[in-house]
Every structure is written in structure tokens, then in C-alpha cells.
Amino acid sequence: MILRGAFLANPRSTTTTAIAAAVRRGDLADAEEAFASTPRKTTAAYNCLLAGYARAPGRLVDARHLFDRIPSPDSVSYNTLLSCHFTNGDVDGARNLFSAMPVRDVASWNTMVSGLSKNRAVEEAKAVFLAMPARNSVSWNAMVSGFACVGDMSAAEEWFRNAPEKEDAVLWTAMVSGYMDAGNLVKAIEYFEAMPVRNLVSWNAVVSGYVKNSHAVDALRLFKTMVTDANVQPNASTLSSVLLGCSNLSALGFGQQIHQWSMKLPLSRGVTVGTSLVSMYCKCGDLSSACKLFGEMHRRDVIAWNAMISGYAQHGDGKEAIKLFERMKDGGVKPNWITFVAVLTACIHTGLCDFGIQCFEGMQEFYGIEPRVDHYSCMVDLLCRAGMLERAVNLIYSMPFEPHPSAYGTILAACRVYKNLEFAEFAAGKLIEKDPHSAGAYVQLANIYATANQWDDVSRVRRWMKDNAVVKTPGYSWMEIKGVMHKFRSNDRLHPQIHLIHEKLAQLEERMKAMGYVPDLDFALHDVDESMKVQMLMRHSEKLAIAFGLISTVPGMTLRIFKNLRVCGDCHNAAKVISKIENREIILRDTTRFHHFRRGHCSCGDYW
């Protein structure tokens, strides 16, 4: 009886705490279930669930309905609903609620200043700030964050200098994030190193900032410092950033270490970390681990499904991608615009042209999703790979917005396959018009002329590049061996084991020719004699990386190689033969997809 009385006197000790715990771990379904099972719903219980809705975009209607059911809403109720309006970008609704609030405390004013700042209405936030009856550090932090958010770092600097309290990590982190977003890493690190006190958010700002600014190596280095030297335990946001860094570097070994390490933490079971791990494994070439991990996830949101569908698509397994798409819909998960990009990509790499066209035409009719430029770009790619170049060009002309340059790049690449000079010159002209200093269009056009033996036109394009001071992006391949990245350029002479690599290539060349391999001289794009062309082909960066992988790993071990440009046709043919000779799986990722070479065949079915 004493225990029962204590429970009735303090219901927050059980049910309200359960709601709050579910909200903290981002599990709204559990929070709603705990709330529904609460026999006596206090204002505190309502406020806990309301806080969950405030953190989750797209739940504003639910929040309003819940708020209207609160018998006696207090200031926390009003402030939480105010925050919910801002989370959903409903600035007008927030203004109206703020005006109608019976009582405003400091938190109300701060929520208004912070919400306006985050929604880029900084001048209005400034007016509210000046009208506040009382201010605290949160008020100043919101203003500094607001100006940093819109990229006005000079104003952010001024507000930072005028802030009465300089010990708050939030204030300093706003400056770090602002400079990271502006791409000024030097200033960002200056503020980070000068911080009087750092918290997890501060470390996350630098780790994610490095990744956003293509400094993934620095991000991984700082992460190691954070967890070992500073002894700061990461959260889901940290792990998502560092796993994205692993993906960008194709650093599978480090990603596996992060996975093993994260398994010791409760957050490893969350959707965010699970999805980041699935994405990392897909992008680092380990599709089987991604599939296993996805299958073990207890909860999957649309982002998790998208990651796995996209993974199948990038690895050329379009049929599995589409099966997963159907499972996702059958499970009641509504696809979004990113889902259809993933599905269309699967169709591109598998030649499922008709299904792709059906998806593109049905996404608005059945799901209310307006096609974006990404979907149109996918459709151009789908049509080009199927040889329907004229239809692809017509689709570009019919777009309701300016085509993305990648659409013209796709046409240009297809013109080389289908030897169409007319459309090649059209696409190259459009690309050069948009960006006269980008090398891609010139190089592709020169390659198409070279394939057609029109060397005068090749010389003309190269003079054109020289006149416009265009520098060609050098092609290179890389791979990770025992945690060390090895990079190769075509005809590389700098690698310390280059002589052993050349010896291995010479051995492979003899065995390849004995199995019927004939070098495809269309991919030796220099006006030299045939023997020199053959030698140049055997020194392509992909072949150098494959040979190095073979001499540096145990027999039977899978090789994972990455390239910054599209794999050439001769290297593609050679990799098929080498996979059979050496009885190895060779996984090669270029700018468009993964190729899995096994026993003389490629997963792309030579449709790429």
C-alpha cells in the first residue's frame, strides 16, 4: 500500500520518465505507446510527448492536436509548441502563437529569437532580441548562431565580441560551425583551439565540418583524438559524420573499426547509426556486410531503406534494388524523392528501361512526388545507356528547369559508346558554355575524335583547352592495404614497389593473351604506334592497382579498387580475365558504379 500510494502521488517516476526516455533516444513510437498507457495524464506527460514532436520534422499537426488536449497548458507547453512550429518551418504559425501566449518567460523569448535565426530571419530575430525584457547567454548565442547560419561572419564576429559571457561552449561552437560552413577552415580551427571549454557539440562541429569541406582525413584524425586523448564519448551525429568520412575516402578498414567500436555503445542500435553503417559498407564496396547489417536493424525509416536500395543500385544489382523497393512499400513505408533517384539509378545500371520509365511517369501520379532535376538526369542516363540518344536530347529540351550539367555529360559519354559525333559536339558545346574552364567536356570530346582517328580535331580541342587555361584532371586509382592508402596514376613511376608491379603485369599480360585477351586500342588515346599503345594500356592506373593488390595480399582475398574517373573499356575487359586467371574477386568502383569481377565475368553484364 505504501508503494502504491507513492506511485499515485508521483506518477512521473514511472510513465512520464518512460516517455521522456523514449523521446531522448528518438523513438517516438515508444513514446506514444508509453503516453497512451499512462492512466493519469499530467501536464508533464503531455509536455514530454510534445517535446518529441518538436524534435521530429513533419509532426506539427500531431503536436497541435496534442496541445489542444492539455487540460491546463503551462509555459513549457507553449514554448515546446512554439519550437515545434519552427522545427517545421512554420514561421507564421510561430509568430501567431507567440502573440497569443498568455505568459511569456525568458525561454519564450529565446525560443522566438533562436527559431527566427535558424529560419534565416535574422533581422527579425534581432528586433525580438532588442525588445526582450531580459536576456541571458542563450539569447546572445542565438544571435551569433543566426548570423553565422546566413553566412554573415563579420556580423557574427561583432555579436561574439559584444557577448557579455565568453565561457559558453555554444557561443564558440556557433563561430566554428559558421566558418566551417563558409569553407574557412583556418578561422574555424582558430576558434576551436581557443575555446575555453569544449563539449561534444564542439567536436562534432569540427568533425562534420572537415567532412563537408572534403577533408575526410582530418576528420578521422580528429575523431581519434576526440575519443582517445580527450576521452569524449561520441553520439549518433559524430558517428554519422565520421562514417561519411570513411565513405568519402573508401576507408573500409577504418569504417570496420568504427563499427566494432560502436557496438559497445547503446546508440549502435539506433536507426541513424545503423543507416550510416549500411551506407558506409555500400560505398566502400562491401555489399554483403551492408545487407547483413540492414537485415539486423530492428527499425528502419525511409532513409535506411533508401541507403540499402541505393547500395544495390550502385553495385549493379537492380533486381534486388527493385525487390527491396517493393518490400518497403508493402511494409507501409512511403517512398520520398530520394527513393526514386535510387530506383532509377538501379534501372540505369541494369538496363531496366521500361520499368524506369514507368517509375518516372508514376511517381507524381501515385505518390504526389514532383520530378526534380535529379530524376530527369537519371532518365537522360537511362535513355542514353539504352542507345536512345535522340529521345534523351528531347527530354532535356522538355525539362521545366535548367538541366544539370551532368545530363550533358551523360550524353557526351554515351556518344563515345555509340560513336555519335553530332550529339557529342552538341553536348560538349553546352558543357563548355556553362563552364569553359572544366576539363571534362574537352577531354571527352577529344577522346571521341581520337577514337574516330580525327587527330586534327583532337589537336584543335587541345589548343582550345590551352587557350582557355584548362587543366585536365589526372586519372588515378587507389586501394587500402592494411590500413594504408596506395594511389596510382597511369604510367606511375613513384610507387616504391613499381618494379614488382611491372613484373606482375608482364606475367599477367602473357597469360591474358593466352586466354584470348586482345588490347582495345580505342582506349589508347595518343597518336603513337601500336606497340606503344599496348604498353600505355598496360600501365593504366586500374591495372597497376590490381597488380599491386595481387602481390600484396594472400591468394583468394578480395581486392577493392577505386578510381576517380570512369573505368576504361580495356581495363574492364582485362579485369574480367585477371579475375579468372587469379581466381579472385576484384571490386572496382568508378564515378558511376561498382563492378564486381568474378571468374571472368562482371556484375554489370557489360552494360555500363
- The 10s digit of each residue's pLDDT in 275-302 is 999 999 999 999 999 999 999 998 899 9
How many Cβ atoms are within 10 Å of 89's Cβ, its own excluded? 14
252 belongs to a structural domain: no
Question: Does the structure show a pLDDT above 50 at 4?
Answer: no
CA distance 138 to 152: 19
59 belongs to a structural domain: yes
Instruction: Kindly tell me the burial class for residue 2, based on how many C-beta atoms sit within 10 Å of its own C-beta (0-12, 13-18, 19 or more).
Output: exposed
Question: Does the structure show a pLDDT above 80 at 432?
Answer: yes
Question: Does the structure show a pLDDT above 70 at 339?
Answer: yes
341 belongs to a structural domain: no
81 belongs to a structural domain: yes
Angle (deg, nearest 10), helices 541-552 and 569-581: 20
Whole-structure pTM value: 0.80
169 belongs to a structural domain: no
Percent of the chain with pLDDT over 90: 62
CA distance 222 to 109: 36
CA distance 348 to 342: 10
CA angle 370/375/376 to nearest 5° reads: 100
Compute the radius of gyration of the chain from its Cα atoms.
28
Report in angstroms the alpha-carbon separations of 258 from 93, 236, 269, 283: 42, 12, 14, 15
Q: Which residue pairs from 22-25 have beta carbons closer than 8 angstroms and sit at least 24 positions apart in sequence? A: 22/52, 23/48, 23/49, 23/51, 23/52, 23/55, 25/266, 25/267, 25/270
50 belongs to a structural domain: yes
Q: Which of helix, strand or coil describes residue 562?
A: strand
Boundary-marking domain end, from 47, 78, 103: 103
pLDDT band at 442 (very low <50, low <70, confident <90, very high): confident
Return mean pLDDT, the chain. Answer: 89
Strand partners, 602: 597
Residue 17 sits in which domain range? 11-103
Boundary-marking domain end, from 80, 103, 126: 103
Domain count, the chain: 2
Boundary-marking domain end, from 59, 79, 103: 103
591 belongs to a structural domain: yes
Helices (H), 525-565: 530-538, 541-552
Helices (H), 419-496: 421-434, 439-451, 455-467
479 touches 560 (CB < 8 A)? yes
- The 10s digit of each residue's pLDDT in 368-385 is 999 999 999 999 999 999
- Please tell me the least confidently modeled range out of 167-176, 265-274, 336-345, 507-516: 265-274
482 belongs to a structural domain: yes
